[in-house]
A and B are shown apart, each in its own frame.
Chain A
Amino acid sequence: KQEVTQIPAALSVPEGENLVLNCSFTDSAIYNLQWFRQDPGKGLTSLLLIQSSQREQTSGRLNASLDKSSGRSTLYIAASQPGDSATYLCAVPRGGADGLTFGKGTHLIIQP
């Protein structure tokens, strides 16, 4: 059974710092990996989807990398801003279109 782990569970950094969020998964036979952002009391916003054939995917100040063989992905946030404060979740497919398996998230606080 696929398990997804996110480290750290919480992170607080000053504004302007670059930071890395980590995600690991136990079964490397994945089609893709998706990173989401969740604001308090809200639904999930899709940030990046990285295909199994890709090693990196970029959107603005965000960069996601994927290393299938080691079962790891990282989300790099450049020049962090207070508006980046949220919970960040990573998820991998359970199999085909059978839904996603999620990590528990990293709660990020950017101090002004």
Chain B
Amino acid sequence: DGGITQSPKYLFRKEGQNVTLSCEQNLNHDAMYWYRQDPGQGLRLIYYSQIVNDFQKGDIAEGYSVSREKKESFPLTVTSAQKNPTAFYLCASSRGWNQPQHFGDGTRLSIL
């Protein structure tokens, strides 16, 4: 079945550590996105990519980095510079600018 796979489902980060969240899609979508969800807040855009080897910062990119080396993969690294990383992270993809976005099941990141 086509879809978006995020892994791991739960992730724990130690102080000073970088961690990488995986997002893979087999929908053949060009555009991919990373959002962060905090309790009581709407989803906020971290990074997005409209095409391979190209990506742009969203509203809250500080402390995060991404790569887009393959169409189907858009990993997100939460660096030690992100001082409040505890959140639910959601990856999405879409065929294009006026098409629905489809989401993975999310990764919940916590601090040890």
- 5 A-B pairs besides A46-B102, A49-B100 with CB distance below 8 A are A43-B4, A44-B43, A46-B103, A98-B48, A103-B42
Q: Is the CB of B97 within 8 A of A99?
A: no
CB-CB under 8 A for A93 and B100, given A44-B90, A98-B56, A99-B33? no
Number of A residues contacting the other chain (C-beta, 8 Å)? 27
Residues from chain B with Cβ under 8 Å of A96 in the complex = 97
B: number of interface residues (CB 8 Å): 30
Contact of B48 among A4, A97, A104 (CB under 8 A): A97
Chain A 80-104 interface residues, beta-carbon cutoff 8 Å to B: 89, 91, 93-94, 96-104
Q: Which residues of A contact B (CB under 8 A)?
A: 4, 31-32, 34, 36, 41-46, 49, 51, 89, 91, 93-94, 96-105
